[in-house]
């Protein structure tokens, strides 16, 4: 019994010290698990549940950053409610609205983490985890924006497979990751003007993130652990 309490206490300490690590782990776990139940009948419900967990963790991380947590909750609360309703009722309009709010939550959380990492001249372990979590937050945020764009402007995206059909969520997330990382690897292409504008904004965000935030963390880390 005492060992269980000690173990739980250690988990709480680690959660308080490295909340960004838990957010990053949750997002990567959902990314790995999604293909396993993508074809399942209840796959959408399960992925929606994982999305709710990640969204709650994103709000939790915002609470540790300089950003106002009430803004995150103002966006997250209706996003969570509409997401659950869209899954239960199968209502596409509710899904689009919830996706728009989720895009705002993820982008707001990413911005708050960037402010957190730029807040001082000392690099902590949690800030290094925050660097990875911010990248995934940006990727998720733009993926939701692509989903909304596709709903508002049908035919905004095409692909090598089934070019005339709407792109799946995983395909849009794949497009977001390849665009943000500037790898240029992908078979999903933007066709409409709004879709191309979103892709250009994400390309700019990815380059700026690497040039400003990541390079700063690397430079401060080298100054801290380099030869004295």
| pLDDT tens-digit map of 150-192 | 999 999 999 888 888 889 888 899 999 999 988 877 789 999 9
| pLDDT score of 8 | 44
Q: What is the pTM of this model?
A: 0.86
What percent of the chain clears pLDDT 90, i.e. is strictly above it? 25
pLDDT value at 12 more than 70: no
Measured between alpha carbons, how far is 173 from 33 in angstroms, rounded to an integer?
14
Q: Name the residue range of residue 203's domain.
A: 2-225
Which of the pair, 39 or 198, is modelled with greater confidence? Answer: 198
pLDDT value at 145 more than 90: yes
| pLDDT score of 48 | 63
For residues 147 and 195, is the Cβ–Cβ distance under 8 A? no
Measured between alpha carbons, how far is 74 from 114 in angstroms, rounded to an integer?
20
* Residue 224: band (very low, low, confident or very high) from pLDDT cuts 50, 70, 90: low
Secondary structure in 3-state letters for the chain: CHHHHHHHHHHHHHHHHCHHHHHHHHHHHHHHHHHHCCCCCCHHHHHHHHHHHHHHHHHHHHHCCCCCHHHHHHHHHHHHHHHHHHHHHCCHHHHHHHHHHHHHHHHHHHHHHHHHHCCCCCCCHHHHHHHHHHHHHHHHHHHHHHHHHHHHCCCCEEECCCCCCCCCHHHHHHHHHHHHHCCCCCCEEECCHHHHHHHHHHHHHHHHHHHHHHHHHHHHHHHHHCCC
Which of the pair, 95 or 223, is modelled with greater confidence? Answer: 95
| pLDDT score of 200 | 95
The most distant pair of C-alpha atoms in the chain lies apart, rounded to whole Å, by 62
pLDDT tens, residue by residue, 41-83 = 455 556 666 777 777 777 787 776 767 788 888 888 888 888 7
pLDDT value at 1 more than 70: no
pLDDT value at 126 more than 90: no
Q: What's the rounded mean pLDDT across residues 182-203?
A: 91
Q: What's the rounded mean pLDDT across residues 142-153?
A: 95
Mean pLDDT of the chain: 80
Residue 98 CA, distance from chain mean position: 15
| pLDDT score of 9 | 47
Measured between alpha carbons, how far is 181 from 190 in angstroms, rounded to an integer?
17
Helices 125-152, 92-117: crossing angle, 10 deg rounding: 150
**Domain total for the chain?**
1
Measured between alpha carbons, how far is 124 from 102 in angstroms, rounded to an integer?
28
| pLDDT score of 227 | 57
pLDDT value at 11 more than 50: no
- The rounded radius of gyration (Å) of the Cα atoms in the chain is 19
| pLDDT score of 75 | 85
pLDDT tens, residue by residue, 14-32 = 555 667 888 888 888 888 8
For residues 101 and 116, is the Cβ–Cβ distance under 8 A? no
């Amino acid at each position: 019994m005492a060992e269980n309490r000690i173990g739980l206490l250690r988990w709480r300490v680690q959660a308080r010290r490295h909340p960004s690590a838990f957010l990053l782990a949750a997002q990567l776990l959902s990314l790995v698990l999604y293909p396993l139940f993508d074809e399942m009948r209840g796959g959408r419900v399960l992925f929606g549940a994982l999305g709710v967990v990640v969204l709650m963790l994103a709000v939790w991380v915002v609470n540790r950053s300089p950003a106002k947590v009430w803004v995150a909750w103002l966006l997250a609360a209706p996003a969570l409610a509409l997401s659950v309703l869209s899954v239960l009722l199968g209502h596409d309009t509710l899904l689009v609205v919830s996706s728009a709010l989720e895009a705002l939550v993820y982008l707001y959380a990413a911005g708050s983490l960037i402010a957190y990492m730029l807040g001082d001249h000392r690099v902590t372990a949690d800030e290094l985890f925050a660097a990875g979590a911010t990248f995934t937050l940006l990727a998720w945020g733009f993926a939701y924006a692509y989903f909304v764009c596709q709903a508002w402007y049908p035919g905004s995206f095409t692909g090598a497979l089934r070019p005339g059909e709407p792109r799946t969520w995983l395909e849009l997330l794949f497009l977001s990751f390849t665009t943000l990382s500037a790898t240029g690897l992908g078979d999903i292409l933007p066709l409409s003007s709004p879709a191309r504008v979103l892709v250009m904004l994400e390309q700019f965000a990815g380059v700026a993130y690497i040039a400003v935030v990541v390079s700063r963390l690397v430079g401060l880390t080298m100054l801290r652990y380099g030869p004295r």
